[in-house]
């Protein structure tokens, strides 16, 4: 068993809570820092119930340097998994300063404290949104970046900052170099198979899968399918959906890689975490109806501004260097989403 201590920022959130389960089940000790701005503490009680293990929770904002420094002084942290951030594209266009302050400044404070504590192993939640609009729909890590909204740009800026940190090491030839994995997520959906933790969006969901499941359970009346005139196989948008449990397993593999010979001299490297195949909106609806036996009431609506027709990951680098690939299929993602939604129709409340 692994007694290494991992600090999980944003650990009470959707992906972070699943990461806590996976870390605890892999034998890590877990410390969570979360300001609960978009999550409930109940998620962490559920993590403890699922795993039968305990974790340390600090309610703090990652921008609060003093609070973070105290945690690093007290706890023997070896690695940071950095999930804390704001994530809604539309909201980021309305509140860009809030997004840059929370995501970019928050990461600056975190990495400053890490450097001062000489903790230099970091797994960062990046996003496929950093790619912008490449001409090829299967994204490879070395495609040029070009995010098109403040949320995506905040992730791209953080990637730049982390790459700069790693390059600076080479100039000063430090003995403990930064080891950083930038994990570019495609479209995480699904929930832990227990149905005890899952995605609990505030208000009306922006993303497809929580919207579909809230229509199926009767909380929302009708799904709007944003456009059926895209140049795709059925006219609706195509995305690379990935089960959240597969996604967090990728994070454990990233820690393994950062501790391997490959990163012995340090480095900062980006990896796509996706399935490598796309599903259309209509395919999601039909899988949902088939797997759950529930009808999904929908209508076709105009395209949503800023949406691309189709993109999905090329996940070969993650397979080659992290020894990771997805194990779950669309039916698993739908079944686990529904299990969570039907057991928790009001989320964690």
Q: Which residues of the shown chain bind ligand UDP in the complex (CB under 6 A)?
A: 187, 206-208, 211, 223-226, 237, 239, 281, 304, 307
Closest among 311, 317, 271 to 132, alpha carbons compared: 311
Maximum alpha-carbon separation in the chain? 61
Binding ligand NAD by CB under 6 A: which of 28, 39, 119, 245? 39
Residue 28 parent element (H or E) = none
Closest approach, Cβ 230 to ligand UDP, in A, equals 8
Closest approach, Cβ 238 to ligand NAD, in A, equals 16
What is the CB-side half-sphere exposure of residue 292 using CA atoms within 13 A? 26
3-state secondary structure of 182: strand
Closest among 186, 160, 180, 75 to 120, alpha carbons compared: 180
Q: Which residue is nearest to ligand NAD (CB)?
A: 13
Q: Which stretch binds ligand NAD (CB under 6 A): 50-58, 59-67, 92-100, 217-225?
A: 59-67
Kindly give the pairing relationship between strand 138-139 and strand 312-313. Answer: parallel
Closest approach, Cβ 217 to ligand NAD, in A, equals 20
Which CB sits closer to ligand UDP, 11 or 237? Answer: 237
Q: Which stretch binds ligand NAD (CB under 6 A): 80-88, 162-170, 212-220, 287-295?
A: 80-88
List the single partner that 149 binds among ligand UDP, ligand NAD, none, CB under 5 to 8 Å by kind.
none
Contacts of 4 (CB under 8 A, 6+ apart): 28, 29, 78, 79
Contacts of 157 (CB under 8 A, 6+ apart): 100, 104
Active-site residue set? 151
Q: Does 102 bind ligand NAD (CB under 6 A)?
A: yes
- Cβ atoms of 327 and 246 within 8 Å: the answer is yes
Q: Does 276 bind ligand NAD (CB under 6 A)?
A: no
Closest approach, Cβ 265 to ligand UDP, in A, equals 35
Vertex 192: Cα angle to 290 and 79 (nearest 5): 145
Residues 172-201 that bind ligand NAD (CB under 6 A): 185, 188
Interface contacts to ligand NAD, rule CB under 6 A:
10, 12-16, 33-39, 61-63, 83-87, 102, 106, 125, 127, 185, 188
């Amino acid at each position: 068993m692994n007694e290494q201590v991992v600090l999980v920022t944003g650990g009470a959130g959707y992906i972070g809570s699943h990461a806590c389960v996976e870390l605890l089940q892999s034998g890590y000790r877990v410390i969570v820092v979360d300001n609960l701005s978009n999550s409930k503490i109940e998620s962490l009680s559920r993590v403890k119930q699922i795993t039968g293990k305990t974790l340390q929770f600090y309610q703090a904002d990652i921008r609060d340097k003093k609070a973070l420094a105290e945690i690093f002084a007290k706890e023997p942290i070896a690695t940071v998994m950095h999930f804390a951030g704001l994530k809604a594209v539309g909201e980021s266009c309305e509140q860009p300063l809030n997004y840059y302050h929370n995501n970019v400044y928050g990461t600056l404070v975190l990495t400053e404290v890490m450097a001062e504590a000489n903790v230099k192993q970091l797994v960062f939640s990046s996003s496929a949104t950093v790619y912008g609009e490449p001409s090829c729909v299967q994204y490879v890590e070395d495609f040029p970046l070009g995010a098109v909204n403040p949320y995506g740009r905040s992730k791209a800026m953080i990637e730049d900052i982390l790459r700069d940190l790693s390059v600076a090491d080479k100039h000063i030839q430090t003995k403990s170099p930064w080891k950083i994995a930038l994990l570019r997520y495609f479209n995480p959906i699904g929930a832990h198979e227990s149905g005890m933790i899952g995605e609990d969006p505030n208000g009306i969901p922006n993303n497809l899968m929580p919207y579909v499941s809230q229509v199926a359970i009767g909380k929302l009346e009708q799904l709007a399918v944003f456009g059926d005139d895209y140049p795709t196989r059925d006219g609706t948008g195509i995305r690379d959906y990935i089960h959240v449990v597969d996604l967090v397993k990728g994070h454990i593999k990233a820690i393994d890689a950062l501790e391997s010979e490959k990163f012995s001299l340090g480095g900062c490297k980006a990896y796509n975490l996706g399935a490598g195949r796309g599903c259309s909106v209509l395919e999601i609806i039909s899988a949902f109806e088939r797997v759950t036996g529930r009808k999904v009431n929908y209508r076709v609506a105009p395209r949503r501004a800023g949406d691309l027709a189709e993109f999905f990951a090329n996940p070969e680098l993650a397979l080659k260097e992290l020894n990771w690939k997805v194990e779950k299929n669309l039916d698993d993602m739908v079944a686990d989403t529904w299990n969570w939604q039907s057991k928790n129709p009001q989320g964690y409340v």
